[in-house]
Structure 1
């Protein structure tokens, strides 16, 4: 139980960090860092930098997976990258939630240069930590039920981390704003946001440390079937795994639609409902539903299997979108719609994660050698790609809809509302439908299929060992031992 809980705590800090960076950083940029009428260009520059850096860095994720796969230390191949990457990324997070000692106004060009350098270091370090954390999953156990336990506990922790920040972000920013800036009447300040970022950084490093201290890789015949993976081979491993590619495409469409909607939620509460404080209810609702959703996954996987979980979950999300469109500025209806949108999310994530994890053995059977981190790097790659693109979308939508600075709901034009609704509701709905169709028709790697693959691998490796033994026995005299 200690190893399951420790893995969950690692996921808690990990996803608190991810949500803060992917969802709330742009809110900080548009509401605190650049609030003057002439600052739209700076918002555009920062948005462009983030998108270019994150999309450019994504192509290196499989290479990072290869580096992790080729690592061999006394602490294993995952832990050094997990703890080191989390530490560097957390320091970077604290730095970007600042104005770099006033450079945003005194020297904007120098600010952009330094921001770009820090964000590259932050994003690269987070990639090493992210890939190391999730690619530990197939190394922790070969048994399907144990993998499901680790994944369920991890998703439980990540749900509390990701949704917990929704609960604490507004109160925490207000408290730190009062503490550091003397703000009153619930006013938010840049210093308040910085205090919140420091809390998230501590949670991230603390969770990674506990995971490293209390979990261990398994060593067995199947996991030892590895070889050094070169840069070119890394991409061949991915390209030859057809099931991994179909799972990745379906998950990307799902993740992008979810992150865009989730990133615009805070804008919805602030600039459509005019009730930014009520946003904390989103965290309360999603935390409760997340616990129920994650706890139900093992039983659902046994009853109806992953494909039905993935496609059925998207069906429930579509109902949530439809209700959201009718909610308008009604807070109760909006909260019910958010519940319908969020409840299936952890289930779909777990169904995808388990399918990608099982594709490690699928790829091993096809290629003849094992690549854990390269294969598992695809899921965080997709999350970062969807997060990067959503950062760009959110920045552009906020400016185009007039949802910046101290704008009020009454200041948003009808065209602004239509522009906002298109990206928050209509486009995500179309992408979800396409995602479900791909997963239903193209993903063949079921739980039963994976069990058959593991059995074939064990039989094949046993046969190879027997053949090697026979070769040694039949090859004449045994060499002298020194």
Structure 2
């Protein structure tokens, strides 16, 4: 509700209601100054938003990472929003220069705190789960609420404005009506932030445990070197600028071309209903056709809708059909982009060896605001050039004004969207399949790509095997299988390490020794441990189970936890693995076996139970003949 009010309806308040209609020339000049300030401040904030994401990543409070910023942003942003929808006690007329200064300060403050709230809220998605399927489900339900909020503003805007207005002004309302509308939206926005702060509990998720703090001077470096994130950002910047121009122009269209601003609520009511169903179709559509194909289909639908809209004139039915067709794909594109940005966290982790969640997720609202800045410039210019300013009505707008406005409303957005789609087609390659491969690769090279949580690197840890003998107990019940006999070549060839496998009879995995959890994985089907004596081991449940995206797996420990031998680590549901058509064999390997002098199998056949000794490992002396202590 907050963002829709700011991005879609604030400009019509500025251009049509803030200034006295008797002074056209000076009003146009003030409108130009205000739209320039908004655009310039949003460009400036592009340099600030990544630091906002980094600040959230580094926040550690008794209330967690996200909630303090959601509450602060919701409170401060809402108060300032109401002030911006006013003439500040006549300051805009009595002292225009002072008004512009105060406006600039309030606007940038409001925008920064809105960013803290927005980034904090959407950053919860990758904090809940790594895998694409779960993220799609979570984001879909979040977007259902977002869709309702965005569209309900359009339903209530004109009725509320008229209800609170002293002067109805041919159905356009007055300053008091617009101020009370903003107060209403601000209150609801603040109240929802309070509900999130009071009603949610932040947990230390796996993803947050794998976060590496990024220094301020490295913020833009982290973003810029992630090529998939950058190409997607360019695509989305062009796309969101295009749709925001058209969306922000719709109320102008109803007011100055159709002459019936009250009918705008009909459109937004329809959008709110069909938008919910459109959002809910995203997971099955993405699964059946892939995200890329969903993206291309959405763009094609929107371009057809704009073509119909451009020639609809005052025909309400055609206008509604075109506008609804234009809106339906928008939440789907939003989810496609959000999912690819979320997946680019793992892409960056594999490529550069560390991950940044909120910093990466800050890119999306950053681009939305840049698109909003471009939209404000274009829509403000279009309104002035078409004569759609204070005092104007539909009967005053000339034919050339109609043509000019439609060029800005449809022509410019179509061009931006086509360019963005071409970039997406040529440069954005990160899809569900590649993301699954990245997750699989992170799993295979866990000791290289996941942080240790301490001062030493994994390479240093690998060398620190103590002289103490380590008894390696079976982590699961089942039948012993030689590692060379499993059907996964990565394990059977010895590439992943030296060890054994078990055909499980039970779905519970226990710690084989006392040690520390060094790595957890998105799909929860594997875990990396380091014994107190320096033994590095990977326990991998099933073959091909990475594609199950975590379904049927529950993990009871987190990265950095110290565990005791026999402590339960993971539980999995064997019927789920079999139903998915995968082998449930559990592979257990010691990855730093080359640093171990004595690698003795105590048992190499038959049934085993968890806690039964399988291996005896020791390193009596190192290369220089002295014991090495971990």
Asked if residue 136 in structure 1 is aligned to residue 124 in structure 2, the reply is yes
1:181-200 superposed matches below 5 A: 181=166, 186=171, 188-200=173-185
1:12-411 superposed matches below 5 A: 16-36=1-21, 37=24, 38-177=26-165, 181=166, 186=171, 188-220=173-205, 222-411=207-396
CA distance in 2, matches of 1:342, 1:412: 26
Higher share of residues assigned strand: 2
Query: Secondary structure, in 3 states, of the residue corresponding to 1:405?
Result: coil
Q: Call closer, same or farther: CA 1:379–1:472 in 2, change over 3 Å.
A: same
CA distance in 2, matches of 1:50, 1:266: 20
Asked if residue 473 in structure 1 is aligned to residue 466 in structure 2, the reply is yes
Higher share of residues assigned helix: 1
Offset at residue 220 of structure 1 (A)? 5.0
CA distance in 2, matches of 1:375, 1:438: 20
Name stretches of at least 5 consecutive residues in structure 1 with no aligned partner. Answer: 1-15
RMSD: 2.0
CA distance in 2, matches of 1:49, 1:203: 27
8 A Cα contact 1:222 1:461, kept in partner = no
Offset at residue 183 of structure 1 (A)? 5.3
CA distance in 2, matches of 1:138, 1:359: 11
Offset at residue 143 of structure 1 (A)? 3.3
Higher-RCO chain (CA-CA 8 Å, sequence separation at least 6): 1
| TM-score, normalised relative to structure 2 | 0.70
Number of residue equivalences = 461
CA distance in 2, matches of 1:218, 1:296: 29
Counterpart for residue 587 of structure 2: none
Deviations 1:288-347 (A, max 9, x none): 220110010111111011000111100111110111122122111111100111111111
Deviations 1:248-271 (A, max 9, x none): 111111111100001111111111
CA distance in 1, matches of 2:167, 2:248: 29
8 A Cα contact 1:84 1:129, kept in partner = yes
Give the greater-gyration-radius structure (CA): 2
Query: Secondary structure, in 3 states, of the residue corresponding to 2:466?
Result: helix
Deviations 1:58-78 (A, max 9, x none): 221112111111222222222
CA distance in 2, matches of 1:381, 1:53: 12
CA distance in 1, matches of 2:211, 2:171: 56
Offset at residue 431 of structure 1 (A)? 1.8
Deviations 1:232-282 (A, max 9, x none): 211111111111111111111111110000111111111101111111111
CA distance in 2, matches of 1:323, 1:35: 36
Name stretches of at least 5 consecutive residues in structure 2 with no aligned partner. Answer: 453-457, 468-533, 535-626
| TM-score, normalised relative to structure 1 | 0.91
8 A Cα contact 2:305 2:323, kept in partner = yes
Query: Secondary structure, in 3 states, of the residue corresponding to 1:76?
Result: coil
Offset at residue 218 of structure 1 (A)? 4.8
